[in-house]
Amino acid sequence: MSDRLHGTDSAVGDLSDRAVEWIKQRLTNSPIGVIGDKPSLDAALAGSINDDGLGIDGAWERFEQVVAPNNIGLDSERFLAFIPLSPSVATVWMDAIVSAANFSAESWLEGAGAVAAENQVIELLCSAAGMPAGAAGCFMSGGSIGNLSALAVGRARAGDRRFVAVADTAHASVDNALHLLGLETLEVPTGPDCRLTGDSLRAAIGDRRDVGIIVASGGSTNAGVIDDLDGCADVAGEIDAWLHVDGAYGLATILLPELHARFVGLDRADSFIVDPHKWLFATAGSCALVYREPSLARQVHTQHGPYIDVLRTSDDAYNPCDLGYQLTRRASGLPIWFALALHGVDAHRAAIRHGIRLAADMADALEAHPLTELIMRPELGVVLFRRAGWGSDEWKAWANALLASRTAFVAPSTYKGEPVGRLVFMHPRTPDTIIDELMLSLST
Ligand SMILES: *Cc1c(COP(=O)(O)O)cnc(C)c1O
């Protein structure tokens, strides 16, 4: 037999033992990691692909010694930059199974079981958001694809109105999606609280008639601010615009009763997204995309062709690929479905609350210290702050020193153009003691 790739006699040696051991180690301790150096990585990996293969020892050694250590651990308890990833143990193992099974979750015909399970999560989110019966959605590979998919449907609804009202705090992927879709941005300035409001939208739109879509954030990425969704929904109603809520970072917090009031108005959105790989502790590559009325999404996204029309087994067949941009798709909602089924929603609520509480505690510490100044009280898990006398060079030096001492991985940011410190708390195992360590790093 010439096939060395498949089956029980495939030439992989003890790869399964090595893989399981590696995953267990990672789940025990995910290091902050290092920023890889291009010349040394290129040199160490040169020749790793040849005609005959390196065999298990050679290939594994390159993975274990070169590839794996030369990354930053977004899933580290001490990763406080960008938006962290902190996948739960259950999602990591279920993701491994998703890889093995390759459920083809683009269509009901191929992946009914996986799609039905994913839809349980979509239903949970729809019900928390107060979406009406008939709302539906699907999983995509991430927030950028989710935003693109939703805005493509918004474009169809907007007709020849080519402008999209977007806050100056919106995520970069929104701008990118609008560019790809050939739409124009009407940038709406936000005030000191970084919140998009109905009034700021009205002021920016004036009596223009070319605005057909409004994009709001359910937790902006830089400051973690939930926009005035109720006000945005009012304006969308007044001008008959499509309202999309980008909740990739923060919308999982709608599951917390104490934050529910902050999301009033979401029930009037035409579409929204949530990234379970952010604040629902799923593995990377997972976005839940929801439409209040999915029929227009089906018109926009359904792909046609001789070999694909067979996917439409019946009028009510539930095909994720009819609702978003991706066709072949791993069942990226299955890990979070499994974790929710295993642990329940309350365990996820408690895990989310840890990040919110740490952000509040960090804010208290910054307010109490004479050298630091909080820019705004954190609404979710992001803390923005000033340090007396520090500009962009000092912030960079601070980030480098924290990484060198293995205290934390942080990335400075800006607030209305001013270089500031930014910390994002999410990992449920980030220790409380990190607050004192960070305050010390800011006092010297
Ligand atoms: C992370 C993020 C995105 C992009 O999501 P990806 O999963 O990285 O593609 C979009 N919007 C917001 C608000 C985000 O925080």
Per-residue confidence (pLDDT) for residue 307, from 0 to 100:
83
Q: What would the pLDDT profile of 299-340 be if each residue is shown by its tens digit?
A: 999 999 888 888 877 766 799 999 999 999 999 999 999 999
Domains of the chain: 31-44+57-70 (no CATH), 93-343 (3.40.640.10), 346-443 (3.90.1150.170)
Q: What are phi and psi of 224, to 5 degrees?
A: 70, 40
- Give Cα separations from 85 to 66, 80, 218, 236 (angstroms): 22, 10, 18, 33
Cα distances (Å, whole numbers) of residue 147 to 180, 233, 325: 11, 18, 10
Q: Ligand 1 site: residues with CB under 6 angstroms?
A: 83, 142-144, 147, 171, 173, 217, 221, 246, 248-249, 275, 287
CB 77 within 8 A of CB 427: yes
Residue 219 Cα: closest atom of ligand 1? 13
Residue listed under structure tokens 């794996």: 68
Radius of gyration of the chain (CA): 23
pLDDT of residue 127: 98
Given ligand 1 and candidates 275, 280, 289, which is best to mutate, with the most ligand atoms within 8 Å of its CB?
275
Q: How far is the CA of 174 from the centre of ligand 1 (A)?
A: 9
- For 209-229, b where at least 16 C-beta lie within 10 A, e where not — what string? eebbbbbbbbbbbbbbbbbbb
pLDDT at 310: 81
Q: Residue 315's pLDDT is what?
A: 60
pLDDT over 70, % of the chain = 99
| DSSP H or E stretch at residue 342 | helix 334-343
Ligand 1 centroid to Cα of residue 224, in Å, is 12
Q: How confident is the model at residue 2 (pLDDT cuts 50, 70, 90)?
A: confident
Angle at CA of residue 245, ends 276 and 210, nearest 5°: 150
* pLDDT averaged over every residue in the chain: 97
Indicate which atom in ligand 1 lies nearest the CA of residue 170.
13
Residue owning the nearest CA to atom 12 of ligand 1: 248
Measured by CA distance, the residue closest to atom 10 of ligand 1 is 143
How far does the centroid of ligand 1 lie from the alpha carbon of residue 53, in Å? 38
Give pLDDT tens digits for 335-381.
999 999 999 999 999 999 999 999 999 999 999 999 999 999 999 99
The model's pLDDT over 204-217, given as tens digits with 9 standing for 90+, comes to 999 999 999 999 99
Kindly give the number of the ligand 1 atom that is closest to the alpha carbon of 142. Answer: 7
What is the whole-number distance in angstroms between the Cα of residue 81 and the centre of ligand 1? 14
C-alpha closest to that of 170 among 203, 207, 195, 133: 195
Q: Transcribe 197-232 into DSSP letters.
A: -HHHHHHHHTT-S-EEEEEEEBS-TTT-PBP-HHHH
If 0-12 CB within 10 Å is exposed, 13-18 middle and 19+ buried, where does residue 25 land?
exposed
Copy the structure tokens of residue 395. 């912030």
Dist. CA 104 → ligand 1 center (Å): 24
pTM beyond 0.85: the answer is: yes
Q: What is the Cα–Cα distance from 285 to 98, expressed in whole angstroms?
A: 12
Residue 188: count other Cβ atoms within 10 Å of its Cβ.
23
Atom number in ligand 1 closest to CA 141? 7
Q: Give yes or no for a contact between 288 and 274, defined as CB atoms under 8 angstroms apart.
A: yes
Q: What is the pLDDT of residues 210-241, one digit of tens each?
A: 999 999 999 999 999 999 999 999 999 999 99
Q: pLDDT tens digit string along 254-268?
A: 999 999 999 999 999
86-145 pLDDT per residue, tens: 999 999 999 999 999 999 999 999 999 999 999 999 999 999 999 999 999 999 999 999
State the Cα–Cα distance between residues 47 and 50, nearest whole angstrom. Answer: 6
Q: Using CA positions, which residue lies closest to atom 4 of ligand 1? A: 143
List the structure tokens of 135: 């709302």
Distance linking the first and last C-alpha atoms of the chain: 67
Which three-class secondary structure state does DSSP give residue 163?
strand
Specify the residue with its C-alpha closest to ligand 1, atom 3: 143
